[in-house]
Amino acid sequence: MAITLSILLIVLGFGLLIKGADWMVTGASALAKKKNISDLAIGLTVVAFGTSAPELVVNAIASSEGYADITFGNVLGSNNFNLFAILGVVGLILPLKVQASTAWKEIPISFFALCVVFLLANEVVFQPSNIVSQVEGLFLLLLFGAFLAYVFFQMKATPVATEIAVESPANLKIGSLILFGLAGLILGGKLVVDNAVDIAAGLGVSEKIIGLTIIAAGTSLPELVTSVVAALRKNSDMAIGNIIGSNIFNLLLVLSVSSMIAPLDYNPTFNTDMYLLGGGTIFLFLAMFTGKKKTLDRWEAGVLLVVFVTYTASLIGQEL
């Protein structure tokens, strides 16, 4: 009975996370429009942040409560879910043709971000211990700032008209959307973390597995919905850009904030998940130059999805 209640509360938490992120994006986008910020800037910053907001809030709460395995599990699990499951599903719906900058720049940047996190977590840089310290978190945050600078430089160099449907409600409504969105994110994140830990304890399943599977999949729902809708509308750039951008946000922003709240003890068994993510990113990069150029073909998407299903089954099998 207790586990059933925890599952229901996790579902409620995910609902609050998704709705909270939606309200925050709507409110922040409307505020940005009132300040005459371009549609493209809104899409590359506010909307991208909104789809990563659930991961950020869940990890901030998990970090403050000392659940480092959930923190790393959520980031690595979410990124693997994004790359293998979401791109796999979306690529089967529509072969994803991307711009040259995505193939040559954004995908390599996401691989670089993963390499930096790997080195920091495995006692190679700054501090001889398996801890991502607050100083290392600050370093990741500086890299995230550099990524944002790159995004704005690209936007200025190659302006593109991007249509994002945003209402212009009154200031009171904008403030309410942002406030209630934030409240939904915080409450939803708290429900997810606390009840996931309870389930792990009740079933004897490790926090690592819970983070890599249930929490990771749940916090990636905004990316899933965004990318599937984009694919159905034949907007390949949005579909794949959302995934690559989210993965960079998770590695450089979410982990940096989490480690600055409290130093994170790193479990070296997560290296397997990093190897998987690195291999998947390299595969995606190579897929841009095999078959149709700068396109994730259906068979390549199928490979990603099969790898995800196989790996997830092996994770669950380890706990049984």
* Residue in 143, 122, 144 with CA at minimum distance from that of residue 132: 122
DSSP 81-139: IIIIIIHHHHHHHS-EE--HHIIIIIHHHHHHHHHHHHHHHTT-SSSSSSEE-HHHHHH
256-269: burial string, b at 16+ Cβ within 10 Å, e else:
bbbbbbbbbebbee
Q: Is the pTM here over 0.85, yes or no?
A: no
Q: What is the pLDDT along the chain (320 residues), one digit of tens a residue?
A: 678 888 898 889 888 877 877 787 677 667 666 766 554 455 556 666 777 777 888 888 889 888 889 899 999 999 999 999 989 998 888 887 776 666 678 889 999 999 999 999 987 655 567 888 899 999 999 999 999 888 777 766 655 444 444 445 677 888 888 788 777 877 887 888 788 878 877 777 787 888 888 788 877 777 777 677 667 777 676 677 778 888 999 999 999 999 999 999 999 999 999 999 999 999 999 988 876 777 788 899 999 999 999 998 888 777 66
Q: How far apart are the first and last CA of the chain?
A: 21
Identify each DSSP E strand in the chain by its residue range.
96-97, 131-132, 264-265, 295-296
Contact 63/264 with Cβ under 8 angstroms? yes
In the block, residue with structure tokens 């999805």 = 305
d(CA 269, CA 9): 29
**Rounded-to-integer distance, Cα 191 and Cα 62, Å:** 11
Domains and CATH numbers, the chain: 2-319 (1.20.1420.30)
